[in-house]
Amino acid sequence: EDQVTQSPEALRLQEGESSSLNCSYTVSGLRGLFWYRQDPGKGPEFLFTLYSAGEEKEKERLKATLTKKESFLHITAPKPEDSATYLCAVQDVNTNAGKSTFGDGTTLTVKP
């Protein structure tokens, strides 16, 4: 059974204080790993897809990296508007195409 574990559950940072969020996963074979951002009361917004170990993707202050067992979402010099819940999800090569398993998320709060 596919599993996704995100840590920490909650993270509080001062504006400009860089940090990382972790996503550990267990799949029989990775088709893709996805990061989403979710604001309160809204649907998640797609951020990145990573397909193979060693791959990196960047968008503004966010950088996602992937190893064979985990992914990190690095946040450099965060701003208050980066406050949100960040969700990680995986797709397994041995399940029907497109079906994702999600972690419980990390809620990030950035204080000015």
Shortest Å distance, C-beta 40 to another protein: 10
Strands 10-14 and 106-111: parallel
- The window from 12-20, 21-29, 66-74, 86-94 that contacts another protein (CB under 8 A) reads 86-94
Task: Please say whether the beta carbons of 37 and 45 come within 8 A.
Answer: yes
Binding mask 30-69 for another protein (x = CB under 8 A): -xx-x-x----xxxxxxxxx--------------------
CB of 39 to another protein, least distance (A): 10
CA distance 9 to 104: 8
Contact 56, 74 (CB under 8 A): no
SS (H, E, C) 36-58: EEECCCCCCEEEEEECCCCCEEE
Options 16-24, 27-35, 57-65, 66-74: segment touching another protein (CB under 8 A) = 27-35
Using CB under 8 A, list all residues that contact another protein: 4, 31-32, 34, 36, 41-49, 87, 89, 91, 96-105
